[in-house]
Amino acid sequence: TVSPCATVPGLQMWNLDRMLWTDVESDASPLHFSVFAGETLGYLTNGLIQAPLHRVPATVVADEASRRMSMPYFLRARPEACLNPTRSADVAPLTVRDLMEERIFKSRPWRRESCATPDY
């Protein structure tokens, strides 16, 4: 994911070392942008590169006078693409769709069952 700084700072990422939310955009200029890995890259690297837990708190977007706008770009693999992080014939092929639906979406406590098409 590539995310230029939003019109109002608010993006936070969970800092595992300090066990707290860290502001990402507070000291950035409008020319800066954030780049972070997604779940598929985490799977392909066997967890070496991990997707960060991130959020924009509701308090940031509550002020009507200064609405926050962000325009992230998500680079995604095709849902039918096969993933094999070990390049081993012993490992059953896994598609991006299977990874997202079976391993990612169902393991996130904040995700709810929905009839909407998943955002791979």
Residue 4's nearest CA partner among 75, 74, 73 is 73
Compare 10 and 103 and report the one with higher pLDDT.
10
What digits encode the pLDDT tens for the residues 58-89?
766 666 677 888 899 988 889 999 887 666 66
User: Which residue type sits at 66?
Assistant: S
Q: Are residues 69 and 37 in the same domain?
A: yes
Q: Are residues 96 and 69 in the same domain?
A: no
Q: Are residues 16 and 68 in the same domain?
A: yes
Q: Are residues 59 and 28 in the same domain?
A: yes
Q: What is the domain range of residue 92?
A: 78-120
Q: Are residues 48 and 104 in the same domain?
A: no
pTM for this prediction? 0.69
Domain tally, the chain: 2
Helix (H, G, I), strand (E, B) or coil at 117: coil
105 to each of 43, 51, 116, how far by Cα in Å?
14, 14, 13
Q: What is the spatial distance between Cα 50 and Cα 44, in angstroms, rounded to a whole number?
A: 10
